[in-house]
Amino acid sequence: MKFLVVGDPMLTADTLEKAVRDVFGEEVVVKGVDWKPESEEEFWFLRSQVEKFGPSAGKPPVELIEAGKDADVIITHHTPLNKELIEQSSASYVGVCRAGTENADVNAATAKGTKVMKTMGRNAEAVSDFTIALLLSELRNLARGHAALMQGDWKKKYANSGFMGDVREKTIGLVGLGYIGRLVAHKLANFNVRVLAYDPYIKAEAVQGSGVELVSLEELCKQSDFISIHARLSKDTAGLIGKEALSWMKPTAYLINTARAGLINEKALIEALQNRQIGGAALDVFWTEPIAKDHPLLTMENVTLTPHLAGATNDTFAQTPYLLLRELKRVLDNKETSSWIVN
C-alpha cells in the first residue's frame, strides 16, 4: 500500500510518516511532501481562505499532483487538496487530520469514487478545557486583571463588577452537543450547574441520564447565564447567533465561542457589547484572522479575546494522525464503513 502524507507548519510530513509506519507497519510505502507557505502569516491567511472558500483558494505544492498519481491513500492536515489533484490521483481514500474537510474537494472525490475521512473528536479534550478556561476568565476577569497588573494598575473594578458571581448554580447553555459540547457538559458536572443544550440533530433519548436538558434556541438564550457555541458552521448555521438571539439573552449573560466565528453575526455582537446588552463575550475565533488591529472588539472592556488557541495543544497534534490512521486501518482490515467517511 502506498501513502502520500502532506504536512504543513503545524503537522509535518515526517510526523505523519512516522504515524503511518507505527499503525500500518514498516512494509508500507510512504512519500512525504510539506506545504510551506512563504511565512507564518501567509500560512494562516491561506488557511482562513480555504476555510471560507474551499480548497481552490489555497496554494498546494505543485509536486503534489505528480506525487498523488500512484498513491493509494493521501493523508493531509491543513494542506488544500483541490479538484485537479484529486482527479489525477489514484487514491481510494483521502484522510484529513481535522474534524472538518473544508480543505479537500469532497465533490471531486465523490465523483471519482474516492472516500474522504475526517478525524472526529480529535481536539475535543483541548477545546472543552479551553471553553471552561474562557468561561472562568470572563466571569472572574483573569485576563483583564493580569493585563492591568502588567501595566502597574492594581485594578479591582471591571465592567462586570455589578454582577460578577460564582459559577455554582448558574445555567450553562450549549449550542451544539457533539463531541466537544458533551465533554464540556461532563466537565462542568462538578460545578453544580444546570446545563441546557440546543441541537436540532440530537434526540431527547440520546441525552437521558446525562443531566443535559434539550431546549429551543430561544429558551436557551433566555435562561442561560453562559452560552457556549459548539456547532459546525454551515449554510444553515451561519449567523445563528444574531440580533434576535442576542436580544433574548440576559443583560448579565456571557457568550463564549471556540467553534467558528461565522456562527455569530459580527455586527450584531459588536452592537450588543457596545450597548451592554449582554454581560460580555469570550472569543477564540474571528471573522478575519488575524483580527484587524483597529477592530472595535480590541477597545472593549467586556470581552476576553484569544488568538485561535483552543484546539492547539501538543497532545492534540500528537494524537490526531493516530486516531485517523487507526480508524482507516479498522475500515480496511474489516472491510467496514465508518461514520468518519463524509461521502
Which residue out of 213, 289, 295, 326 is catalytically annotated? 289
* CA dihedral sign, ordered 101, 104, 105, 106: negative
The rounded distance, in Å, linking the Cα atoms of 237 and 307 is 23
Which residue out of 138, 144, 308, 327 is catalytically annotated? 308
Which residue out of 17, 182, 260, 327 is catalytically annotated? 260
From the list 187, 176, 273, 279, the residue with the least C-alpha distance to 225 is 279
Indicate the SS3 state at residue 222: helix
From the list 56, 65, 11, 4, the residue with the least C-alpha distance to 32 is 4
DSSP H or E stretch at residue 13? helix 13-24
The rounded distance, in Å, linking the Cα atoms of 63 and 168 is 56
Question: 260 catalytic, yes or no?
Answer: yes
Q: What is the DSSP string of 125-176?
A: HHHHHHHHHHHHHHHHTHHHHHHHHHTT------TTTTT---STT-EEEEE-
From the list 98, 97, 117, 90, the residue with the least C-alpha distance to 106 is 117
Q: Which three cell numbers stand for residue 130?
A: 479551553
The rounded distance, in Å, linking the Cα atoms of 308 and 77 is 17
Question: 308 catalytic, yes or no?
Answer: yes
Q: Which three cell numbers stand for residue 193?
A: 450547574
Question: 276 catalytic, yes or no?
Answer: no
The rounded distance, in Å, linking the Cα atoms of 297 and 281 is 10
The rounded distance, in Å, linking the Cα atoms of 131 and 186 is 12
Q: Which three cell numbers stand for residue 156?
A: 479591582
The rounded distance, in Å, linking the Cα atoms of 208 and 194 is 14
Q: Which residues are catalytic?
A: 260, 289, 308
